[in-house]
Amino acid sequence: MAKRDYSMLGPDARRAVETGLAAAEWYHTDVPRKEMKALMQRSDGPAIRDTIILFGAMILFAGVGIALWPSWWSAPFWLAYGVLFGSAMDSRWHECGHGTAFKTRHYNDWMYQIASFCMIRNPVTWRWSHTRHHTDTIIVGRDPEIVFMRPPELARIFANFFGIFDTINGVRRMLLNAAGKIHPEEATWIPETEQPKVIRVARIWLAVYLAVIGLALWMGSILPLMVIGLPRLYGAWHHVLTGLMQHGGLAENVIDHRLNSRTVYLNPISRFIYWNMNYHVEHHMFPMVPYHRLPDLHAAIKHDLPAPNRSFLDAYREMWPAIKRQLLNEDYFLKRELPPTAKPYREDFHVEALGQPAE
Amino acid sequence: MAQWIDACSTDDIEEEDLIRFDHAGRTFAIYHSPDGDFFCTDGLCTHEHVHLEDGLVMEYEIECPKHNATFDYRTGEAMRAPACVNLNTYKTKVEGGRVWIEV
Ligand code: FES
């Protein structure tokens, strides 16, 4: 098989369009309309509760961190604050980007702007990139959010546990956009009418960062950056830990989320931070279902999905050997068994797209 | 020339819901609003042409099931990205318990 080209402008991108993989009709488990309507219903309550807890905890941890600064006793509080800033904001960015977390649109929009800032993801650019991730999930050359490219770039992925490359990219793009330019790849998925908004947001953010850096210089301390900016690095690990499980080691170029996404049962703290995105097959199949109903959706359709992984450890035990094999064999992927109650995978289509799966 | 088509019974659509209606090679979405009125738009989202039939009606908006774009189904106005283009709308009338659309 030819080497993969993950760029949005390369031969794989063209091939995906030619073969009908791009913008294809995806598999969905049958759910009666009445049941699905109930699952899709929006409410403000759960997200308001979670947001109060989130911001309350952030203020508390940062406050104690500042009070104890520069003693090492402040470290655990910064670590806790960092995870909320650099990881919980990832899932808030995600859910509010879909517009499903709150019922009230403005609440979603406000939270989306705050979370985008924390994650250094331009809210306009990334809204469109995530749209593409849902249209063409893990389709090579079409999905701009593929983390585990083949062969996997492990050094880069490990560095991202500390947000290194994500932050460098985020800052670079912010500077490019603030200079009035759009990256050519981004231009493939952001409509022209939206592009001025990308630039406006980048300029506002740059002003905020310059103010924080100015304050740090004036104080002669990195403390202001411990509150804004650096937590994107020292708090990123949890969102990377959860994010890698979403699609790692699974199939590319298929149109059935059961083949390319993973559901994992997690502890309640991680589920709070991750806003239930551990139900990832369910989220991709039915992105209209808000995060707080995903456990119910899971219960309704699990008969049609591969068995979920039981924990972080279980997921990584499954994923890691596959990732290692992909270092040597780019065509290798995990194809998980479906329960007897499930509708089978569409082998005809997928064998053509993938070659023979390696089991 | 526009003509009135008998699309469905008023009982076929729950309040705050929609159904799909296909006619002469075209596809439409017919909505039953919370105050009992009926409306009709093109069936396919203007973003990536996914059918709206599996979407969610909230008051006077329809949310697309694929990427959560929303439209005001009374006017067709695109309210939320990623949809940037409005939906076409069609006149409706109710006669004898039937919903008619003008297409
Ligand atoms: S197809 Fe409707 S929002 Fe994308």
Residue B17 touches partner A, C-beta closer than 8 Å: yes
User: Per-residue pLDDT averaged across A181-197, rounded?
Assistant: 88
CA dist., res. A278 & res. A264, Å (int): 5
pTM for this model (two decimals): 0.91
**CA of residue A174 to ligand 1 center, whole Å:** 27
User: In the structure, how many helices (H) and strands (E) does chain A have?
Assistant: 19, 0
Listed by number, the residues of chain A in 204-263 with a beta carbon closer than 8 Å to a beta carbon of chain B are none
The shortest C-alpha distance from B2 to chain A (Å) reads 32
The shortest C-alpha distance from A294 to chain B (Å) reads 15
Does residue B47 have its Cβ closer than 6 Å to ligand 1? yes
The mean pLDDT value of chain A amounts to: 93
A359 close to A331: Cβ distance less than 8 angstroms: no
Q: Which atom of ligand 1 is nearest to the CA of B82?
A: 3
Q: Which of A15-29, A227-241, B2-16 has the lowest mean pLDDT?
A: A15-29
For the segment B23-79, what is each residue's pLDDT rounded down to a tens digit? 999 999 999 999 999 999 999 999 999 999 999 999 999 999 999 999 999 999 999
Q: Which of the 8 DSSP states describes residue B19? A: E
- In chain B, residues with a C-beta closer than 8 Å to the C-beta of A194 are 81, 84
pLDDT band at residue A348 under the 50/70/90 scheme: low
For the segment A134-183, what is each residue's pLDDT rounded down to a tens digit? 888 888 898 888 888 989 889 999 999 999 999 999 999 999 999 999 99
Does residue B48 have its Cβ closer than 6 Å to ligand 1? yes
Percentage of the residues of chain A whose pLDDT score is greater than 70: 96
Does residue B54 have its Cβ closer than 6 Å to ligand 1? no
A174 close to A182: Cβ distance less than 8 angstroms: no
For the segment A116-130, what is each residue's pLDDT rounded down to a tens digit? 999 999 999 988 888
Q: Is the pLDDT of residue A357 over 60?
A: no
Sheet of strand B78-80: strand arrangement: B56-58, B61-63, B70-72, B78-80
User: In the structure, how many helices (H) and strands (E) does chain B have?
Assistant: 0, 11
Contacts of A126 (CB under 8 A, 6+ apart): A93, A97, A116
Q: Do B66 and A40 lie within an 8 Å CB cutoff?
A: no
Q: Do A288 and B17 lie within an 8 Å CB cutoff?
A: no
Contacts of A343 (CB under 8 A, 6+ apart): A27, A29, A304
**Which of A31, A135, A137, A257 is the mutation pick for testing B, counting most B CBs within 10 A?**
A135
What pLDDT is recorded for position A67?
98
Q: Do A191 and B84 lie within an 8 Å CB cutoff?
A: yes
Does residue B78 have its Cβ closer than 6 Å to ligand 1? no
**CA of residue B44 to ligand 1 center, whole Å:** 9
ipTM above 0.90, yes or no: no
CA dist., res. A69 & res. A348, Å (int): 61
Q: Which of the 8 DSSP states describes residue A88? A: I
What pLDDT is recorded for position A135?
87
Q: Do A288 and B63 lie within an 8 Å CB cutoff?
A: yes
Nearest Cα neighbor of A24 from A135, A145, A138 is A135
Listed by number, the residues of chain B in 26-45 with a beta carbon closer than 8 Å to a beta carbon of chain A are none
Compute the count of residue pairs across chains A and B with CB atoms less than 8 Å apart. Answer: 43
For the segment A278-332, what is each residue's pLDDT rounded down to a tens digit? 999 999 999 999 999 999 999 999 999 999 999 999 999 999 999 999 999 999 9
**CATH among 2.102.10.10, 1.25.50.10, 3.40.350.10, 1.10.1060.10 for B4-102:** 2.102.10.10
What pLDDT is recorded for position A144?
85
Residue B67 touches partner A, C-beta closer than 8 Å: yes
**CA of residue A307 to ligand 1 center, whole Å:** 30
